[in-house]
Amino acid sequence: MIFEPKDVFRKLEFDKVLELLEKEALTPMGAGILQCVQPHQDFERIDRELREAREYKLILEKNDRFPLEAFPDVRPDLKMLAKEGYTLHTEAFQAVLLILQQTRDVLKFFTIGPKKEIYPKLYEIARTLSLDDGLIKAIRSVFDVK
């Protein structure tokens, strides 16, 4: 697809829209993803992402508490685990626990009532997540978290 005029994204201030979105990102990872966003030309992708956005907007409008909050970036700590003898510090374990609990809560969100049907596009994303509840229990038992 060819956009006319050639400077349509500059005229639409696409960069400013991304800056505004970046300020609202829940995590540094989300902000980083926004720095790489480019306009799409694939109609199916645009349509799917608009439907996802509509569903999330509906969650907000209905005050249907979606359990997604800011969480720390544990990627550097997880990369360090590749080094022999490296162990995670307490804060990293707690951050991993927080992410696992949020993942569990997101999965649980879609089991309450007809939410799979109300938010089908978001459910499609969530159902790709996998979670081992045993990992949550193991981390909690080590750190005596209730």
Q: Where are the domains of the chain?
A: 1-39, 41-143
Contact 135, 112 (CB under 8 A): no
The pTM for the full model equals 0.80
- Give me the mean pLDDT over the 55-74 stretch: 93
Amino acid at 25: A
- Give me the mean pLDDT over the 131-141 stretch: 92
How is the chain split among helix, strand and coil, in percent rounded to 5? 60, 0, 40
pLDDT score for 146: 57
Contact 98, 72 (CB under 8 A): yes
Cα separation, 39 vs 82, in Å, equals 36
DSSP assignments along 97-136, one per residue: HHHHHHHHHHHHHTTSTTHHHHSHHHHHHHTT----HHHH
